[in-house]
Structure 1
Amino acid sequence: MTERQAVVTKTVSMVYKASDVMGKLGLKDSAFKKYIYLLEKEGYLIKRNNKGHRIFTEDNIKTLEMFLELSRYDGVTLESVAKKVAEMNHHNGMTESKPESHDGMTLISTLLKEQQQQFEIQRLKQEEQFAERMQKVLESQLKLQERTLKAELTVKLSKIEESNKRIEEHLITKKKQWWRFWE
């Protein structure tokens, strides 16, 4: 074998069709398409043949295996796994991955931290919304109590005025001198 043939042999790698990869990974068509879509959305590039069909290399299969492994952990979303896998494999061109990010545990730790930050942001937003709703409820209860108290006060004042009128009428009609109280 000549040197040129050896170089050609090293550069030619095995390529697989999507159905082969699905069979190798034990995935159904819908799940496979979803995973590929998420990876491509994050910038992961999968080569295509002249007909536009995706062709998969061993590296692509390893990446998909890593994607599947990481997506099994609790607390991580498929989107965050796809983003990290794409970054780690330098496929999105937007972010350079750090060498230590190839460690599975580091990647999982990073994903979990991001999830925790997202949950914290969501919790703070919910607390703000809850506080606003409670403020509105308290304001409406105060207004209701104020109206109730005003109504009760109005009723009591009218009774007092009515009582005062009766007393005045009684005093006017039965005006006697104070020393003739026995009559």
Structure 2
Amino acid sequence: MQNLQITAPTSRPRIPSRRAATWWMATFLGIPLAGYAGWLVSGPVDSVGAALLGALITGAALGAVQAWGLGRNRPSAAAWIAATTLGLMAGLAIGAAIVDYDTNLTALVVQGAISGLAVGLAQALVLLPRLGVVALAWPPALAAIWAAGWATSTAIGVDVDQQFVIYGASGALVVTALTVILPLALNRTDKDAS
């Protein structure tokens, strides 16, 4: 009789950090496209209903683009998309209502911080099994980063009075560059597991 050996599954192979960062940086284009799609469906974010509908479309598209950008080292794509969608729906509905749907710089920075915090909380739940307690740093980091995204888009003259769902391409570039640590951290955990 042969001995059957049962071995634990091996970790995912590590991809080069440069490639992980490049894939993630490519996702910046998905942010304004996802936001524009959400805004086309919901119209201006001037009510809770518009915020929820716009965030539903934007969050699902953004989550899908980010899941692609995280590559093979990502957590479950379905969980990531759901977390991003639900987080953005809660965050935008609360954040936009708190600032009374205003579009001045301060209001959009506050709205961005609340939206980023909510998305970060939801995503941290998905990241926790992979990153451990380090995932708890994601919500406050994302709050600050999304605030910076809105500040950037507003400062360069994007017509924010149209009450968009999410910051534009310039803000997306800043946000994506500042969050590139995520695919690198996920890639690192796979290296450490091997």
What's the TM-score once normalised by structure 2's chain length?
A: 0.26
What's the TM-score once normalised by structure 1's chain length?
A: 0.27
Larger radius of gyration: 1
